[in-house]
Amino acid sequence: MAQIFPEWTNKLPLVNIIAILLLGIGVVGFFWYFGSTKYTDVGYRPTQPIPYSHKLHAGDLGLDCRYCHVSVELSPVAVVPPTQTCMNCHSMILPESQKLLPVRESWASGETIKWIRVHNLPDYAYFNHSAHINAGVSCISCHGNLTRMIKVMQVERLSMSWCLDCHRDPAPHLRPIEEITNMRWLPGDDHSEFAERIIEEKNISPPEDCSGCHR
């Protein structure tokens, strides 16, 4: 009796299983990458209401990060500087610049400048700037080298796995407190010994359980 289907159709179940597996892997891989913060957040560089250049202020002029972000050593938040901080200099420097007109208008009206936040953790994640700064973690570890940025850009994923990588091995990110805001500082050959000493002296033991960041 003749077969209804040709012999090659016997392989169709195996081919279908392989196709479904490959499709499933492809779909998971697609969302794994294109739905991750590495794709959606890294590279985010919004245009601010005023063209403030970190390269000029923090890089060329050498302003310390803490001049503007005054609470970074004392509180969980770094604080966006008020207009008063800008006017400390710009009441005398470039007082007629058209680029700085929004600063002068803010100063005259008392309305805050609507800066666009670049690094924005979700509300369910707790991050304390002062804890990291006082442990010896530099601004550059999370924000990148701001002295080279004309327009601030997010350079790190700021994801849970990224944070945990540092919590599990903080040594490479530690430096002397006096070098916290120095974007040109480089670790020496004895950095591992220095880090081990600091971890012991300050009893640095970053949490790895859920309650450390989700409170």
Q: pLDDT value at position 184? A: 94
Examine the domain organization and report whether 142 and 172 are in the same domain.
yes
Does any domain span residue 2?
A: no
21/59 same-domain check: no
Q: Are 180 and 131 within one domain?
A: yes
Residue 97 lies in a domain: no
Q: Does residue 175 sit in the same domain as residue 205?
A: yes
Residue 138 has pLDDT above 80, yes or no: yes
pLDDT of residue 19: 92
Both 123 and 30 in one domain: the answer is no
- Residue 198 within any structural domain of the chain: yes
Cα–Cα distance, 51 to 139 (Å, whole number) = 21
What is the band of 1 on the pLDDT scale with cuts at 50, 70, 90?
A: low
Would you state the pLDDT for residue 2?
63
Is 51 part of a structural domain of the chain? yes
pLDDT reported for residue 190: 95
Residue 205 lies in a domain: yes
pLDDT at 54 over 90: yes
Residue 110 lies inside a defined structural domain of this protein = no
Residue 20 structural domain: 12-39
Tell me: pLDDT of 27 over 80. yes
154-213, pLDDT tens digit by residue? Answer: 999 999 999 999 999 999 999 999 999 999 999 999 999 999 999 999 999 999 999 999
Residue 124 and residue 142 share a domain:
yes
Same-domain pairing of 75 and 21: no
Residue 16 counted as domain residue = yes
Whether 176 and 75 share a structural domain: yes
CA distance readout (Å), 39 to 13, 35, 203: 36, 7, 35
Q: Both 25 and 119 in a single domain?
A: no
pLDDT in tens, 79-136: 999 999 999 999 999 999 999 999 999 999 999 999 999 999 999 999 999 999 999 9
Burial grade of 9 (CB within 10 A; 0-12, 13-18, 19 or more):
exposed
pLDDT-derived band at 33 (thresholds 50, 70, 90) equals: confident
Give yes or no: residues 166 and 121 share one domain. yes
pTM value is: 0.84
CB atoms within 10 A of CB 129: 20
Residue 155 lies in a domain: yes
Domain shared by 141 and 181, yes or no: yes
Beta bridge partner(s), residue 137: 174
Answer yes or no: do 144 and 201 share one domain.
yes
DSSP conformational letter for 95 = T
Q: Is 19 exposed, middle or buried (0-12, 13-18, 19+ CB in 10 A)?
A: exposed
Q: How many domains does the chain have?
A: 2
